[in-house]
Copies of this chain bind each other. A is one copy, B any other.
Amino acid sequence: MKIVQTDFSISTKKRNQLIDITSKVGLSVSQSGITDGDVIVYCSHTTAAITINENADPSVIHDILLTLEEVIPHHRPGYQHYEGNSDAHCKSSLLGCSEQILIRDKSLQLGTWQGIFFCEFDGPRSRKVFVQVRGE
């Protein structure tokens, strides 16, 4: 088995923002030389996440962010964390800090409408994403 590790950085612009990183992950896969296997996309932060959802119509992302903000508002009576970003920590755990995508025939095996997103919940910040491509 071959293991290829790559990292990349990303600058977010808003407090809550989903950024399409599909092409960055796809580049790691094509440069790895791996034909069959998988890729792990891992967010190394506790107020951000990785998710897979539709990247065709940008209104889908708008509606996901709207839902998250209404279900988990910025402020909630009883929050104790002094940084004031407890909502971002909650969203991070709910969406999860990593995704795993299969590789077949040297390509990301995503569904027709699927894209990979970095989810910022406490921006703007500079963020780091770990990518590990594994296979044969």
Q: Mark A36-73, 1 if CB is under 8 A from B, else 0.
A: 11101011111000011110010110111011101110
CB distance from A55 to the nearest CB of B (A): 9
Is chain A's interface secondary structure helix, strand, loop, or mixed overall?
Answer: mixed
- Is A19 an interface position by the 8 A CB rule? no
Contact status B67-A76, CB under 8 Å = yes
Q: How many residues of A contact B (CB 8 A)?
A: 63
Contact status A100-B36, CB under 8 Å = no
Besides A46-B60, A63-B81, A97-B99, 7 other A-B contacts (C-beta < 8 A):
A1-B1, A3-B37, A3-B136, A40-B102, A51-B96, A53-B89, A67-B76
